[in-house]
Amino acid sequence: MLGDLHGEGLIIHHWDTDGLCSAALLLEYLKPRSLVNMCPTIGAFYLTEQEIDYAGGFDYVIVADMALPEADVQRVSEEARVVVFDHHHQKPIQSVEHINPVAHGADAEDYPSCTWVVKEKLGLPLSMHVALGFIGDREHRIMENPRFKKITEKCLSDDGVTFDEALTLVGLIDSSYKVGDRKAVEEAPRLLRGYTKPDDIRGNSRWRENMRLFQEKLGEILAEPPEDEDGVLYKRLDIGYAIISAVTRKLAWGTRQDTVVVNTGFFPSHDQLYSRSTRLDMQPMIERAKELGFNAGGKEDVLGAIVPKDMTESFVEELYRFFKEK
Protein backbone atom coordinates (compact mmCIF):
# COMPACT_ATOMS: atom_id res chain seq x y z
CA MET A 1 0.00 0.00 0.00
CA LEU A 2 3.05 2.24 0.09
CA GLY A 3 4.14 1.24 -3.39
CA ASP A 4 2.53 4.27 -5.03
CA LEU A 5 4.51 6.84 -3.05
CA HIS A 6 6.53 9.09 -5.33
CA GLY A 7 8.85 12.05 -4.97
CA GLU A 8 10.54 13.28 -1.80
CA GLY A 9 9.39 11.72 1.45
CA LEU A 10 9.66 12.48 5.16
CA ILE A 11 9.24 10.13 8.12
CA ILE A 12 8.20 11.84 11.36
CA HIS A 13 8.77 9.42 14.22
CA HIS A 14 8.65 9.19 17.98
CA TRP A 15 11.95 9.39 19.79
CA ASP A 16 11.73 6.09 21.72
CA THR A 17 12.73 2.57 20.67
CA ASP A 18 9.32 1.77 19.18
CA GLY A 19 9.32 4.91 17.07
CA LEU A 20 12.95 4.53 15.98
CA CYS A 21 12.58 0.84 15.09
CA SER A 22 9.33 1.62 13.23
CA ALA A 23 11.17 4.26 11.22
CA ALA A 24 14.00 1.80 10.52
CA LEU A 25 11.51 -0.79 9.23
CA LEU A 26 9.89 1.82 6.99
CA LEU A 27 13.24 3.03 5.63
CA GLU A 28 14.18 -0.53 4.73
CA TYR A 29 10.78 -1.29 3.18
CA LEU A 30 10.75 1.90 1.09
CA LYS A 31 14.32 1.72 -0.24
CA PRO A 32 15.58 3.12 -2.57
CA ARG A 33 13.12 6.03 -2.36
CA SER A 34 14.38 9.46 -1.37
CA LEU A 35 13.53 9.74 2.32
CA VAL A 36 14.62 11.83 5.28
CA ASN A 37 13.54 11.40 8.88
CA MET A 38 12.99 13.66 11.86
CA CYS A 39 11.52 13.57 15.34
CA PRO A 40 9.55 16.51 16.75
CA THR A 41 10.92 18.48 19.67
CA ILE A 42 11.71 15.83 22.28
CA GLY A 43 8.97 15.79 24.90
CA ALA A 44 6.44 17.59 22.69
CA PHE A 45 3.56 15.53 21.28
CA TYR A 46 2.79 18.06 18.56
CA LEU A 47 4.46 19.84 15.66
CA THR A 48 5.74 23.39 15.87
CA GLU A 49 4.87 25.90 13.15
CA GLN A 50 8.36 25.46 11.75
CA GLU A 51 8.00 21.65 11.71
CA ILE A 52 4.60 21.88 9.96
CA ASP A 53 6.05 24.18 7.30
CA TYR A 54 9.04 21.84 6.85
CA ALA A 55 6.82 18.75 6.48
CA GLY A 56 4.62 20.52 3.96
CA GLY A 57 7.59 20.82 1.63
CA PHE A 58 7.63 17.07 0.93
CA ASP A 59 5.54 15.05 -1.51
CA TYR A 60 4.53 12.60 1.20
CA VAL A 61 4.90 12.32 4.96
CA ILE A 62 4.77 9.15 7.04
CA VAL A 63 4.08 9.55 10.76
CA ALA A 64 5.25 6.64 12.92
CA ASP A 65 4.32 6.01 16.55
CA MET A 66 2.96 9.49 17.29
CA ALA A 67 -0.66 10.41 18.02
CA LEU A 68 -0.14 13.95 16.77
CA PRO A 69 -2.99 16.44 17.12
CA GLU A 70 -5.49 16.00 14.30
CA ALA A 71 -5.16 19.69 13.40
CA ASP A 72 -1.39 19.30 12.88
CA VAL A 73 -1.85 16.25 10.67
CA GLN A 74 -4.54 17.92 8.60
CA ARG A 75 -2.40 21.01 8.03
CA VAL A 76 0.45 18.85 6.73
CA SER A 77 -2.02 16.92 4.54
CA GLU A 78 -2.98 20.16 2.76
CA GLU A 79 0.48 20.16 1.17
CA ALA A 80 1.58 16.50 1.19
CA ARG A 81 0.10 13.02 1.17
CA VAL A 82 0.09 11.74 4.76
CA VAL A 83 0.18 8.14 6.03
CA VAL A 84 0.05 7.48 9.77
CA PHE A 85 1.19 4.24 11.44
CA ASP A 86 0.32 4.17 15.13
CA HIS A 87 -1.09 2.13 18.02
CA HIS A 88 -2.06 4.81 20.56
CA HIS A 89 -5.60 5.69 21.58
CA GLN A 90 -6.80 8.32 19.15
CA LYS A 91 -9.90 9.06 17.08
CA PRO A 92 -9.55 8.05 13.43
CA ILE A 93 -8.33 10.89 11.22
CA GLN A 94 -10.53 10.78 8.15
CA SER A 95 -8.52 13.06 5.88
CA VAL A 96 -5.41 10.85 5.76
CA GLU A 97 -4.42 7.17 5.58
CA HIS A 98 -4.64 6.45 9.30
CA ILE A 99 -3.29 2.96 9.93
CA ASN A 100 -4.04 2.54 13.62
CA PRO A 101 -6.12 -0.53 14.50
CA VAL A 102 -6.63 0.74 18.07
CA ALA A 103 -8.11 4.01 16.79
CA HIS A 104 -10.52 1.91 14.71
CA GLY A 105 -11.68 -0.20 17.68
CA ALA A 106 -9.12 -3.01 18.00
CA ASP A 107 -7.93 -4.20 21.41
CA ALA A 108 -4.72 -2.41 22.41
CA GLU A 109 -3.37 -5.71 23.76
CA ASP A 110 -3.30 -7.01 20.19
CA TYR A 111 -1.17 -4.07 19.04
CA PRO A 112 1.43 -3.41 21.76
CA SER A 113 3.75 -1.41 19.50
CA CYS A 114 3.87 0.57 16.31
CA THR A 115 6.47 -1.89 15.00
CA TRP A 116 3.79 -4.58 15.19
CA VAL A 117 1.33 -2.41 13.23
CA VAL A 118 4.00 -1.79 10.57
CA LYS A 119 4.88 -5.49 10.46
CA GLU A 120 1.25 -6.59 10.09
CA LYS A 121 0.24 -3.94 7.55
CA LEU A 122 3.29 -4.37 5.32
CA GLY A 123 3.58 -8.14 5.70
CA LEU A 124 7.06 -8.03 7.22
CA PRO A 125 8.68 -10.98 8.98
CA LEU A 126 9.21 -11.04 12.73
CA SER A 127 12.59 -9.48 13.49
CA MET A 128 14.71 -8.00 16.25
CA HIS A 129 13.46 -4.53 15.31
CA VAL A 130 9.81 -5.56 15.60
CA ALA A 131 10.35 -7.23 18.97
CA LEU A 132 12.35 -4.36 20.44
CA GLY A 133 9.40 -2.08 19.65
CA PHE A 134 6.93 -3.93 21.86
CA ILE A 135 9.53 -4.85 24.48
CA GLY A 136 10.41 -1.17 24.72
CA ASP A 137 6.80 -0.04 25.10
CA ARG A 138 5.62 -2.84 27.40
CA GLU A 139 8.79 -4.05 29.14
CA HIS A 140 7.93 -6.98 31.48
CA ARG A 141 4.20 -6.54 30.89
CA ILE A 142 4.57 -7.98 27.39
CA MET A 143 5.15 -11.35 29.08
CA GLU A 144 1.69 -11.11 30.68
CA ASN A 145 0.15 -11.28 27.21
CA PRO A 146 0.04 -15.01 26.29
CA ARG A 147 0.23 -14.42 22.55
CA PHE A 148 3.11 -11.98 22.69
CA LYS A 149 4.91 -13.95 25.37
CA LYS A 150 5.33 -16.76 22.83
CA ILE A 151 6.30 -14.33 20.07
CA THR A 152 8.85 -12.61 22.32
CA GLU A 153 10.42 -15.87 23.45
CA LYS A 154 10.70 -17.09 19.86
CA CYS A 155 12.32 -13.88 18.64
CA LEU A 156 14.75 -13.62 21.55
CA SER A 157 15.73 -17.25 21.14
CA ASP A 158 16.47 -16.66 17.45
CA ASP A 159 18.69 -13.70 18.37
CA GLY A 160 20.36 -15.51 21.29
CA VAL A 161 19.47 -12.93 23.95
CA THR A 162 17.61 -13.08 27.25
CA PHE A 163 14.71 -10.80 28.10
CA ASP A 164 16.88 -8.74 30.44
CA GLU A 165 19.48 -8.36 27.69
CA ALA A 166 16.72 -7.16 25.35
CA LEU A 167 15.74 -4.53 27.93
CA THR A 168 19.37 -3.38 27.94
CA LEU A 169 19.26 -3.01 24.15
CA VAL A 170 16.11 -0.90 24.52
CA GLY A 171 17.85 1.20 27.15
CA LEU A 172 20.73 1.88 24.79
CA ILE A 173 18.43 2.97 21.98
CA ASP A 174 16.30 5.11 24.31
CA SER A 175 19.30 6.74 25.95
CA SER A 176 19.73 9.46 23.34
CA TYR A 177 16.30 11.01 23.77
CA LYS A 178 16.49 10.68 27.54
CA VAL A 179 19.56 12.91 27.73
CA GLY A 180 18.23 15.28 25.07
CA ASP A 181 20.61 14.22 22.28
CA ARG A 182 18.27 14.95 19.36
CA LYS A 183 20.99 14.53 16.73
CA ALA A 184 21.65 10.98 17.92
CA VAL A 185 17.90 10.29 17.97
CA GLU A 186 17.52 11.31 14.33
CA GLU A 187 20.57 9.29 13.31
CA ALA A 188 19.22 6.17 15.02
CA PRO A 189 16.71 4.86 12.41
CA ARG A 190 19.38 4.68 9.71
CA LEU A 191 21.83 3.04 12.09
CA LEU A 192 19.19 0.55 13.23
CA ARG A 193 18.30 -0.26 9.65
CA GLY A 194 21.84 -1.57 9.23
CA TYR A 195 22.05 -3.23 12.65
CA THR A 196 21.22 -6.90 12.19
CA LYS A 197 22.62 -8.31 15.45
CA PRO A 198 22.31 -7.35 19.13
CA ASP A 199 26.06 -6.73 19.24
CA ASP A 200 25.61 -3.94 16.69
CA ILE A 201 23.47 -2.07 19.22
CA ARG A 202 25.78 -2.88 22.12
CA GLY A 203 28.72 -1.58 20.13
CA ASN A 204 27.39 1.97 19.70
CA SER A 205 29.69 3.97 21.99
CA ARG A 206 27.59 7.13 21.87
CA TRP A 207 24.54 5.23 23.09
CA ARG A 208 26.57 3.55 25.84
CA GLU A 209 27.74 6.92 27.16
CA ASN A 210 24.25 8.43 26.97
CA MET A 211 22.89 5.41 28.84
CA ARG A 212 25.52 5.83 31.56
CA LEU A 213 24.59 9.49 32.05
CA PHE A 214 20.89 8.70 32.13
CA GLN A 215 21.13 5.82 34.58
CA GLU A 216 23.21 7.95 36.91
CA LYS A 217 20.54 10.66 36.96
CA LEU A 218 17.66 8.18 37.22
CA GLY A 219 19.30 6.53 40.22
CA GLU A 220 19.58 9.88 41.97
CA ILE A 221 15.90 10.62 41.37
CA LEU A 222 14.59 7.22 42.45
CA ALA A 223 16.73 7.33 45.62
CA GLU A 224 14.32 9.98 46.92
CA PRO A 225 10.97 8.27 47.65
CA PRO A 226 7.74 9.72 46.18
CA GLU A 227 4.89 11.10 48.26
CA ASP A 228 2.10 8.62 48.96
CA GLU A 229 -1.36 10.14 49.28
CA ASP A 230 -4.03 7.51 49.97
CA GLY A 231 -2.26 4.99 47.77
CA VAL A 232 -1.45 7.35 44.88
CA LEU A 233 2.26 8.00 44.37
CA TYR A 234 3.31 11.53 43.43
CA LYS A 235 6.75 12.79 42.47
CA ARG A 236 7.82 16.25 41.35
CA LEU A 237 10.95 16.79 39.22
CA ASP A 238 12.80 19.86 38.00
CA ILE A 239 15.19 18.62 35.33
CA GLY A 240 16.02 19.16 31.67
CA TYR A 241 16.33 15.43 30.88
CA ALA A 242 13.46 13.60 29.13
CA ILE A 243 13.25 11.33 32.13
CA ILE A 244 9.64 11.61 33.27
CA SER A 245 8.35 8.54 31.41
CA ALA A 246 11.07 6.29 32.86
CA VAL A 247 10.50 7.60 36.40
CA THR A 248 6.74 7.07 36.14
CA ARG A 249 7.18 3.57 34.75
CA LYS A 250 9.65 2.55 37.44
CA LEU A 251 7.40 3.82 40.23
CA ALA A 252 4.14 2.41 38.86
CA TRP A 253 5.41 -0.97 37.79
CA GLY A 254 7.66 -1.37 40.81
CA THR A 255 4.85 -0.76 43.30
CA ARG A 256 1.69 -1.58 41.27
CA GLN A 257 0.29 1.74 42.55
CA ASP A 258 -1.35 4.55 40.62
CA THR A 259 1.34 7.15 39.93
CA VAL A 260 1.57 10.81 38.94
CA VAL A 261 4.87 12.50 38.05
CA VAL A 262 5.34 16.17 37.12
CA ASN A 263 8.50 17.69 35.64
CA THR A 264 8.66 21.47 35.90
CA GLY A 265 12.11 21.83 34.35
CA PHE A 266 11.74 20.69 30.74
CA PHE A 267 9.68 23.51 29.17
CA PRO A 268 9.76 27.20 30.20
CA SER A 269 5.98 27.80 30.28
CA HIS A 270 4.57 24.28 30.60
CA ASP A 271 5.04 21.21 32.79
CA GLN A 272 5.39 17.63 31.66
CA LEU A 273 2.91 15.31 33.35
CA TYR A 274 2.84 11.52 33.22
CA SER A 275 0.44 9.22 34.99
CA ARG A 276 0.25 5.42 35.02
CA SER A 277 -2.15 2.88 36.42
CA THR A 278 -1.84 -0.89 36.51
CA ARG A 279 -5.58 -1.31 37.21
CA LEU A 280 -7.51 1.42 35.33
CA ASP A 281 -8.02 2.46 31.73
CA MET A 282 -6.53 5.96 31.47
CA GLN A 283 -8.51 6.86 28.34
CA PRO A 284 -11.08 9.02 30.22
CA MET A 285 -8.30 11.21 31.60
CA ILE A 286 -6.57 11.38 28.22
CA GLU A 287 -9.81 12.72 26.77
CA ARG A 288 -10.23 15.09 29.72
CA ALA A 289 -6.73 16.48 29.14
CA LYS A 290 -7.57 17.10 25.50
CA GLU A 291 -10.85 18.80 26.50
CA LEU A 292 -8.80 21.19 28.61
CA GLY A 293 -6.69 22.03 25.58
CA PHE A 294 -3.54 20.16 26.62
CA ASN A 295 -1.30 18.36 24.16
CA ALA A 296 -1.96 14.87 25.47
CA GLY A 297 -1.95 11.24 24.48
CA GLY A 298 -1.26 7.77 25.77
CA LYS A 299 -2.43 4.21 25.88
CA GLU A 300 -4.64 2.09 28.10
CA ASP A 301 -2.35 2.36 31.12
CA VAL A 302 -0.59 5.69 30.62
CA LEU A 303 -1.35 9.37 30.15
CA GLY A 304 1.23 11.88 28.97
CA ALA A 305 0.44 15.59 28.78
CA ILE A 306 2.06 18.99 28.44
CA VAL A 307 0.22 21.28 30.85
CA PRO A 308 0.37 25.07 31.31
CA LYS A 309 2.09 25.70 34.62
CA ASP A 310 -0.90 27.50 36.10
CA MET A 311 -3.14 24.48 35.43
CA THR A 312 -0.88 21.69 36.65
CA GLU A 313 -2.08 21.62 40.25
CA SER A 314 -5.77 21.51 39.35
CA PHE A 315 -5.24 18.71 36.83
CA VAL A 316 -3.23 16.67 39.35
CA GLU A 317 -6.20 17.03 41.72
CA GLU A 318 -8.50 15.69 38.98
CA LEU A 319 -6.22 12.69 38.55
CA TYR A 320 -6.35 12.03 42.31
CA ARG A 321 -10.17 12.09 42.20
CA PHE A 322 -10.19 9.76 39.18
CA PHE A 323 -8.02 7.22 40.99
CA LYS A 324 -9.88 7.43 44.28
CA GLU A 325 -13.37 7.16 42.79
CA LYS A 326 -12.62 3.98 40.87
Q: Kindly report, residue by residue over 120-172, the tens digit of the pLDDT.
A: 999 999 999 999 999 999 999 999 999 999 999 999 999 999 999 999 999 99
Of 166, 189, 183, nearest in space to 27 by CA = 189
Please tell me the pTM assigned to this model: 0.86
Q: How far apart are CA 173 and CA 200, in angstroms?
A: 11
Q: What domains, with CATH codes, occur in the chain?
A: 9-202 (3.90.1640.30), 224-325 (3.10.310.30)
The stretch 200-215 carries a mean pLDDT of 97
Q: Are 223 and 184 in contact (CB under 8 A)?
A: no
> Which pLDDT tens digit goes with each residue over 100-121?
999 999 999 999 999 999 999 9
Strands (DSSP E) along the chain, which ranges? 9-13, 35-38, 60-64, 81-85, 97-99, 227-229, 232-237, 259-263, 270-276, 295-299, 302-308
Tell me whether residue 254 is exposed, middle or buried, using C-beta atoms within 10 angstroms of its C-beta: 0 to 12, 13 to 18, 19 or more. exposed
